[in-house]
Amino acid sequence: MEFKLLILGSSSALPTVKRNLPAQILSYNNKPFLIDCGEGTQLQLRKHNISFNKIDHIFISHLHGDHFYGIFGFLGTMGLLGRKKPLHIFSPYGLEEIINSVFEKTNSEIPFPIKYHILNTKQPEIILTTKWLEINSFPLKHSKPVCGFIFKEKEKPANIIKEKIEEYNIGISEIVKIKNGAKLKLASGKEIENSELVYPKPKLRSYAYCTDTKFVAKNYKPLKDIDVLYHEATFAETDKQTAHNTGHSTATEAAKAAIEINAKLLLLGHFSSRYKSNTHIIEEAKSIFKNTIGVEDGDYFEI
């Protein structure tokens, strides 16, 4: 099944002519999940032909404006497009009150139900499960309560080898059992091992989103062996003191996080607009964790 990431915004605090504010689309089996919703998100969604109406779940990491100010226009546009089905919004406490206040003060309505889910900013928890995906939140360390998100595939039934169905004349009820791990018992009493009847299962894939956080090693424990880690690298190591004063990470610290959890790929983003180029940030991380990519708005990545 398709499992891919689209970067909609990769700047921090201030948008630039090349970088929008934080937002991503994580798609699984053509189902889009919106992660953060900085100003300009709905324009990016249109640019990349993402259907607004397909988005049923929004995950807001924390309540700093660059991560959620885009949600007001996005909700308004959904209403204008005739949305009626419920929308689920996951965020730290306070977003529901902010959204209600904005629409009340502007004498506007949201013509569809919104279900708010308050994130636990103290400990990890499962926040959503779909048929093939489990989504977890976990706390990070910043100047406001903040959560990162983990998207993990759930184990699927194995695919049976078609030739084996004919060879052993396997019935439908037995096929279901075999797909779920059972052996096949023949009339003669002989048992055929499950591994001889099904294709090997593909490795379960995973993605983690870490934004706006100081480097705190214990906070990364839920991310062990993540395939793709997106981690903020707002500052270079030369601005480490500024990073720590503002509750952010350097590129060096992002690379250390990738090593800490044994990530396969590190994606860097949330770059400060103070830098004319981010090449030095990316090279800094690469010197510690080789498989590092600095993201650009519009980048796609297969998980």
Let me know: does 292 contact 286? Beta carbons within 8 Å: yes
Residue 72, SS3 per DSSP: helix
User: How far is residue 254's CA from residue 223's CA, in Å, rounded to a whole number?
Assistant: 13
H or E segment and range at residue 90 = strand 87-91
Query: DSSP H helical segments within 145-233, as ranges?
Result: 162-168, 172-179
Residue 228 CB coordination number (10 Å): 22
Residue 217 is classified by DSSP as: G
Please state whether 176 falls in left (phi above 0), alpha (psi between -120 and 50) or beta. Answer: alpha
Could you say which of 36, 56, 66, 225 is catalytic?
66
Is 239 designated active site? no
The full length of the chain comes to: 303
Positions marked catalytic: 66
